[in-house]
């Protein structure tokens, strides 16, 4: 077998993992989730879940990946037995579904870069503009273009493709986001927006926790790229001298910083234009924010910069999703990197095409893969690592850390009980929400369209 690839540098690994984490989840999904769930209360719960569940689960994936040096399916075959080896399939399926619609949304961002450069955002016609751009032939073409870019990078491999591209993309995302947030700070709506975004109302949280909690957990998983083996795969290309806990911390902090900054950009701009952030759902940045850009001086240019950043962030995430499925085909099926990437890209493009033709498929795919499969994958893997292979996990986490102290055992205890219990509740709540969608909105859609 050919020598397995690996990261050239530690920074390369961290940037790739940050590039995976920072994406549409931070800049598209996060602000509209905050809006839908009522503002600061959501932010508060979300931050708790990043620390309490996200960080420990990154480490769960890291120990499995570095220990086995395998793709997620191969990793579980190596250290697991029986039914445990099947968890990898949950991951590969989730990755396949997620990338197929992720690419559609990323295609919209490309469209909005063009609209901005042409000075074509409109305040009154923003919704129609979005509906025109979001579904139909144009959306299919942009979905294809984005998928082609993903194929091109992943086909080049770890060092020359992924590592090189994230070294350019991630610093750009950070710098431009901070710049846009500084600009948003100068707008008239800023004070009001910060109050909405930053001061939680605890009685609202208490009365809405059954929706806020599962939504915040799904967001935490999605934004940290957890539950489908991205962190297993990326850590599988990592040497034993690295301190996994430190790397996981850096990744979680940077990802949270960018999501938080996206809110600092979006809400002041919306409030300055007098737009209510609550009701727009997945259309928030495309309809409301684009309408706000239409009202601002140099709004077209600012919008193009903003959506360009979102597109870059989406690309650095999409390549990580692709890499999971590609690494499976390379390691387990002996298929070459280039043909594996190309074939998958075409298949994912086809599966995603319905989502480029009708918005209801975005919710159908997102709800299934993101709210159910990811958390289920995270739950099963946490049970596996915490209860089935705890010794291996403890040994792996202490490598590269000179003085672990009680870090390893605290982490393990945390994974075994609180994380597992919380995930069981959250998977159930999310499955219940999704069932509501299938029997409600989606059933209505089927009735009117078939
Ligand atoms: N985390 C990315 C974002 O926020 C999306 C992403 C990349 C992802 N890889 C993933 C989500 C793996 C879930 C699982 O946009």
pLDDT in tens, 211-245: 899 889 989 999 999 999 999 999 998 877 788 99
* CB of residue 116 inside a 6 A radius of ligand 1: no
Read off the pLDDT of residues 323-339 as tens digits, 9 standing for 90 and up: 999 989 998 899 999 99
Pocket test for ligand 1, best of 230, 309, 381 (most atoms within 8 A of CB): 230
400 phi, psi to nearest 5 deg: 80, 0
∠ CA 171-176-179, nearest 5°, is 130
Q: How many CA atoms lie within 13 A of 366 on its CB side?
A: 22
Cα(224) to centroid(ligand 1), Å: 6
Å from CA of 317 to ligand 1 middle? 6
d(CA 122, ligand 1 centre) in Å: 30
The SS3 call for residue 243 is coil
Tokens 């689960």 sit on residue: 57
Amino acid 1: pLDDT: 44
Radius of gyration, alpha carbons of the chain: 21
What is the number of the ligand 1 atom nearest to the C-alpha of 20?
Answer: 7
Token pair in block for residue 44: 């508060």
**Residue having the nearest C-alpha atom to atom 8 of ligand 1:** 225
Ligand 1, atom 6: nearest CA belongs to which residue?
Answer: 225
Residue 210 has a pLDDT of 84
Q: How far apart are CA 197 and CA 37, in angstroms?
A: 11
C-beta of 21 in contact with ligand 1 (< 6 A): yes
Residue 61 C-alpha to ligand 1 middle, in angstroms?
A: 14
8 A C-beta contact, residue 99 and residue 321: yes
**Three-state secondary structure call for residue 3:** coil
Q: Of 103, 317, 368, which is best to mutate to test ligand 1, by the most ligand atoms within 8 angstroms of its C-beta?
A: 317
If you take atom 9 of ligand 1, which residue's CA is the nearest one?
A: 225
Domain parsing of the chain, residue ranges: 10-449
DSSP structural state of residue 50: I
Q: Provide, for the chain, the percentages of residues in helix, strand and coil under a 3-state DSSP scheme, each rounded to the nearest 5.
A: 85, 0, 15
CA distances (Å), 79 to each of 73, 330, 385, in order? 11, 19, 10
CA–CA distance, 104 with 359 (Å, rounded to integer): 10
Give the Å distances, CA to CA, from 217 to 50, 108, 180, 228.
8, 26, 27, 15
Tens digit of pLDDT per residue, the chain (450 long)?
Answer: 456 788 888 888 899 999 999 999 999 999 999 988 888 999 999 999 999 999 999 999 999 999 999 989 999 999 998 899 889 889 989 999 999 999 999 999 999 999 999 999 998 888 899 989 998 999 999 999 999 999 999 999 888 888 888 888 889 899 999 999 999 999 888 999 999 999 888 888 888 888 899 889 989 999 999 999 999 999 998 877 788 999 999 999 999 999 999 999 999 988 888 888 876 777 888 988 898 899 888 999 999 999 999 999 999 999 999 999 998 999 889 999 999 999 999 999 999 999 999 988 988 998 899 888 999 999 999 999 999 999 999 999 988 776 667 788 899 999 999 999 999 999 998 899 899 989 998 999 999 988
Angle, alpha carbons 280-285-287 (nearest 5°): 60
Please indicate whether residue 321, judged by its CB atom, sits closer than 6 Å to ligand 1. Answer: yes
Helices 190-198 + 244-272 axis angle, to 10: 130
Closest ligand 1 atom to residue 227 Cα is 14
Q: How far is the CA of 154 from the centre of ligand 1 (A)?
A: 16
Residue to mutate, 225, 259, 313, ligand 1, most ligand atoms under 8 Å from C-beta: 225
Q: How far is the CA of 225 from the centre of ligand 1 (A)?
A: 4
Q: What distances in angstroms separate CA 443 from CA 138, 353, 435, one per listed residue?
A: 27, 20, 11
Instruction: Please check whether residue 244 is in contact with residue 63, taking contact to mean a CB–CB distance below 8 angstroms.
Output: yes
Question: Is residue 24 in contact with ligand 1, taking CB distance under 6 Å?
Answer: yes
The alpha carbon of 318 and the centre of ligand 1 are apart by a number of angstroms equal to 7
Ligand 1 center–CA 321 separation, angstroms: 7
The response to whether residue 225 sits with its C-beta less than 6 Å from ligand 1 reads yes
- This prediction has a pTM of 0.91
Decide: 25 in ligand 1 pocket, CB within 6 A: yes
Which of 222, 262, 328 gets mutated to test ligand 1 (max ligand atoms within 8 A of its CB)? 222
Residue nearest to atom 14 of ligand 1 (CA): 225
Q: How far is the CA of 223 from the centre of ligand 1 (A)?
A: 5
- Cα–Cα distance, 86 to 78 (Å, whole number): 12
- pLDDT of amino acid 240: 78
pLDDT tens, 266-285?
Answer: 999 888 888 888 767 778 88
Q: Which atom of ligand 1 is nearest to the CA of 26?
A: 4
CATH class of 10-449: mainly alpha
* Secondary structure (DSSP) of 89-108: HHHHHHHHHHHHHHHHHHHH
Task: Indicate if the alpha-carbon torsion angle 23, 24, 25, 26 is positive or negative.
Answer: positive
Whether 374 is in the pocket of ligand 1, judged by its Cβ within 6 Å, is: yes
Q: In the structure encoding, which two tokens stand for residue 174, read together?
A: 């950070």
Distance 1 CA to ligand 1 centre (A): 30
> Which atom of ligand 1 is nearest to 255's Cα?
4
């Amino acid at each position: 077998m050919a020598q397995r690839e690996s990261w050239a540098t530690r920074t390369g690994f961290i940037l790739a993992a940050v590039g995976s984490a920072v994406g549409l989840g931070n800049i598209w999904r996060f602000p509209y989730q905050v809006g839908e769930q009522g503002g600061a209360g959501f932010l508060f719960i979300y931050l708790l879940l990043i620390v309490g569940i996200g960080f420990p689960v990154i480490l769960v994936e890291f120990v499995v990946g570095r220990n086995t040096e395998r793709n997620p399916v191969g990793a579980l075959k190596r250290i697991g037995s029986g039914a445990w080896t099947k968890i990898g399939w949950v991951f590969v399926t989730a990755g396949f579904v997620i990338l197929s619609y992720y690419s559609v949304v990323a295609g919209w961002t490309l469209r909005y870069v063009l609209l901005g450069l042409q000075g074509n955002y409109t305040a009154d016609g923003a919704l129609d503009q979005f509906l025109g751009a979001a579904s139909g032939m144009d959306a299919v073409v942009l979905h294809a273009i984005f998928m082609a870019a993903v194929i091109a990078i992943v086909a080049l491999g770890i060092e020359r493709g992924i590592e090189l591209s994230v070294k350019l993309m991630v610093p750009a995302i950070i710098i431009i986001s901070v710049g846009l947030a500084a600009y948003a700070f100068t707008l008239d709506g800023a004070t009001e927006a910060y109050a909405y975004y930053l001061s939680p109302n605890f009685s609202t949280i208490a009365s809405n926790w059954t929706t806020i909690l599962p939504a915040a957990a799904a967001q935490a998983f999605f934004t940290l790229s957890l539950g489908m083996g991205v962190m297993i795969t990326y850590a599988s290309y990592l040497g034993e001298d690295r301190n996994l806990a430190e790397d996981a911390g850096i990744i979680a902090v940077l990802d949270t910083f960018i999501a938080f900054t996206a809110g600092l950009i979006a809400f002041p701009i919306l409030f300055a234009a007098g737009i209510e952030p609550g009701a727009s759902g997945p259309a928030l940045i495309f309809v409301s924010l684009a309408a706000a850009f239409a009202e601002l001086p140099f709004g077209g240019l600012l919008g193009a910069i903003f959506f360009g950043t979102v597109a870059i962030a989406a690309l650095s995430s999409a390549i990580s999703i692709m890499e999971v499925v590609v690494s499976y085909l390379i390691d387990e099926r002996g298929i070459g990197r280039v043909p594996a990437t190309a074939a998958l890209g075409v298949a994912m493009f086809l599966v995603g095409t319905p989502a480029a033709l009708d918005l209801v498929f975005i919710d159908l795919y997102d709800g299934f893969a993101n709210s159910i499969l990811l958390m289920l994958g995270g739950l099963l893997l946490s049970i596996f690592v915490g209860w089935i292979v705890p010794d291996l996990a403890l040994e792996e986490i202490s490598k590269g850390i000179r003085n672990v102290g009680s870090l390893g055992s605290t982490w393990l205890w945390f994974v075994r009980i609180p994380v597992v219990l919380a995930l069981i509740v959250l998977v159930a709540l999310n499955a219940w929400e999704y069932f509501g969608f299938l029997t409600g909105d989606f059933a209505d859609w089927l009735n009117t369209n078939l």
